[in-house]
Amino acid sequence: MKSQDSIDKVLNQQELRFRLVVAELELAATFSDLALNTTMGDRFRRNSELAYEAYDTALRFLTGCVLTTQRMQIITNRLQEVGPKLKDLDRFLAQS
């Protein structure tokens, strides 16, 4: 049987993982917006790269994350916000 300290440690790790995923998805959305509002050029490319890096990091840390229904809804909402923005970036990148 796990001690209370071990259980608390696991719960804390899950909390931190959830917060990291949310923060990275918010970063992905922000960098996507910045890229889409700067059109082409070095800033567009750099902000696009940062958006994809944040998105990839979120997905990587989402794996193995134990989520309540409420937290899953929060993540789903963030993914639904970021997804179309990344598709817009894909379109612009394909044209360049």
- Domain containing 51 equals 7-95
**Has residue 1 been placed in a domain?**
no
pLDDT (tens digit, 9 = 90+) per residue, 25-63?
Answer: 999 999 999 999 987 789 999 999 999 999 999 999 999
Which DSSP symbol is given to 31?
H
* Distance of alpha carbon 39 from alpha carbon 20, whole angstroms: 29
pLDDT (tens digit, 9 = 90+) per residue, 57-79?
Answer: 999 999 988 889 999 999 999 99
Number of structural domains found in the chain: 1
**Has residue 2 been placed in a domain?**
no
